Structure 1
């Protein structure tokens, strides 16, 4: 059951271009999303009436697919959140952004069955299905840049939006005070001017509600000028965020000290303490960086939320050591006729100035000790001290 569950998780959660089933599933889900959106949009046209039965069947099929996919994602949630108990992992997925999008993609379809009287109202929830396309866009760097900008600037954006809302309420109160006597039907209370203030501050100006008194018109001019500046604040924040994102790499290139890195690889065996942990939860030594993860033949660029899986090959980089005059590292391939074969390291006839620091055996990397046996085909990394450093 564990292997089956793990395989399902790899297919539905981890895109792998070299895995035919995983790639086919991704394509299948994209086609299903597009088909569902096409049905939703086409049903709004009068020309769709002759095909109503076919469209209803297609909608039902796509909804069932979304339902099954959602159930499978809940079933494998403990792989997505490996450091949480199963029920907490399920809750974490259910209340995540993509979990909510997936849920509201199919759940409103079943509501009219339970509440037939609200069938018309429930149809408005179908618009949420379009957000399923975010799952497709999330694989591209351009979409990730947008998400990063919004995350970095969320505090400023929230503050600016609060300022706009406060200003809208203030504008509504002002216009109520100035226009209530002249237009009691249009400005009946303090909140009846909200529609006018929203359309004015956002520079839409529908013209269905407007001031008729002299002071009301003067106030409308002032509010309109202020509205242009207020609305420009979140726009400027987002624009500045994009500029910052795209200049970070240039700043690193022109204002940083360059060091050569050396890379080593290590395979995570089954049952290792790093298995199913997020990268940000692994304590790497200082000046050590995880550069790439090779998973099923595909190179993944990791971030803090990337989950390490068994059999992942980690490409690890570190600052290059420039003391070659003091030490020497060499790799020795142990062949069948080598006298080291079958011996423990403590029994090898090597100099005290030499030390076996690593053994590569097939797909495993071994940090040896004196009791480790040398086997045929081992790649032994031998450290030799040449002379003392000053």
Structure 2
């Protein structure tokens, strides 16, 4: 495609932008520079939506205001978000024209990072947007396996997608509850007999078999196997299932009554890891999802809180050790003989727990204790407001997401084989 020195017109969302052909070659927008290298109109139409040869006009069905801000970046070298436009939508426009997040100003980069950390959630299965005609599996014999895999995937990943999905979710929750009850009951002295141990092993094997089959099926029907493995809930599933097979293998190799089996501290640790199965309930309970997502979004505030507490512990424990023991090592309070020992008193005082197992006896130590308690209340209260509002926002978002899933499942019910 030979442009010569003619004036090029970019029609972006109905708004025209005029550029000399030579200038388009120098623009830091890879999509426009690639237009100059096209040798046929078919290649040209891969980069734009339409082309008028007579007027040398390129048509792009994109956001015109976002492109105008991108052109301001080309002219002045500073790229900022369009006011009242979603950060992710503007970032999508940037990627379309060939820009990256590094081209944004630092303040806008922070806004984009914060927005992406809120939206790209990997702790829970991603919500699939309503399918359009371009996403429908092909009809006929070729598309039947894909439709079947999609139906199975939604059945296991989206409990509200069909009646069968709700039944499977209920069965999975039942097995989790049974497994937890058996885990707790196995620690009772009355459950140490051979008969009850055999019954416990059978129930445990059935539960593990269900969880293993469920995990394998979900892995086989997942769209992205690497993404499936990286999800925290799936990692927890693996950590909860693996100890059972490890303990069975050790039992088969060492014998039921071997010394290793009787003193198997490692095996007991592995068995107690089954408590992580409770986190599987987060797939079905909105409250646990809200808690997990809130912790994910507020990790910076949580780290800040831990830093506050750590600094306060270092200061108050050193002062407490000095006032209670350091000034008179012989007759001083031996509960505060070291700074690490005083750290325990500081943490239970700052959190207002106060077990009473150790306490200051000097006047100066008691004054310090009062300051420590008040400081703990203030420090713990500082980030609570932000975490509280984040929790409310997360709960609202997940509630709306669940409502959309239920509506989508209802509208698709007539065509859903399940």
Class of the TM-score when normalised by the shorter of the 2 chains? 0.5 to 0.7
Partners of 1:173 and 1:190 within 8 A in 2: yes
Partners of 2:161 and 2:409 within 8 A in 1: no
SS in 2 for 1:203: coil
Distance change >3 Å, CA 233–CA 57, structure 1 → 2: farther
> CA offset at residue 145 of structure 1?
4.8
Work out the CA distance in 2 between the residues paired with 1:164 and 1:16: 42
Give the aligned partner of residue 98 of structure 1. Answer: 233
Partners of 1:66 and 1:105 within 8 A in 2: no
Work out the CA distance in 2 between the residues paired with 1:212 and 1:114: 56
Match of residue 46, structure 1, among 189, 195, 220: 189
Give the aligned partner of residue 64 of structure 1. Answer: 209
Partners of 1:179 and 1:211 within 8 A in 2: yes
Work out the CA distance in 1 between the residues paired with 2:360 and 2:345: 9
> CA offset at residue 204 of structure 1?
0.9
Unpaired segments of 5 or more residues in structure 1? 82-88, 249-290, 301-310, 313-390
Give the aligned partner of residue 109 of structure 2. Answer: none
TM-score by length of 1: 0.53
Distance change >3 Å, CA 39–CA 185, structure 1 → 2: same
SS in 1 for 2:339: coil
Work out the CA distance in 2 between the residues paired with 1:111 and 1:189: 42
Give the aligned partner of residue 216 of structure 1. Answer: 365
The alignment's C-alpha RMSD in Å is: 3.5
> CA offset at residue 62 of structure 1?
0.6
Please give the residue correspondences for 1:155-234 in structure 2 after superposition, counting only pairs within 5 Å. 155-180=300-325, 181=329, 182=331, 186-234=335-383
> CA offset at residue 52 of structure 1?
2.9
Please give the residue correspondences for 1:24-173 in structure 2 after superposition, counting only pairs within 5 Å. 24-49=167-192, 51-77=196-222, 79=223, 81=224, 89-90=225-226, 92-113=227-248, 116=261, 117=264, 118-137=266-285, 140=286, 145-146=290-291, 149-173=294-318
The structure that is helix-richer by fraction is 2
The structure that is strand-richer by fraction is 1
TM-score by length of 2: 0.50
Distance change >3 Å, CA 124–CA 23, structure 1 → 2: closer
SS in 2 for 1:10: helix
Work out the CA distance in 1 between the residues paired with 2:396 and 2:211: 40
Work out the CA distance in 2 between the residues paired with 1:247 and 1:31: 27
Distance change >3 Å, CA 136–CA 18, structure 1 → 2: closer
Partners of 1:42 and 1:48 within 8 A in 2: yes
Work out the CA distance in 2 between the residues paired with 1:234 and 1:71: 41
What is the aligned length? Answer: 247
Partners of 1:17 and 1:298 within 8 A in 2: no
> CA offset at residue 132 of structure 1?
1.7
Distance change >3 Å, CA 110–CA 201, structure 1 → 2: farther
Work out the CA distance in 2 between the residues paired with 1:244 and 1:120: 40
Partners of 2:155 and 2:162 within 8 A in 1: no
Partners of 1:105 and 1:132 within 8 A in 2: no
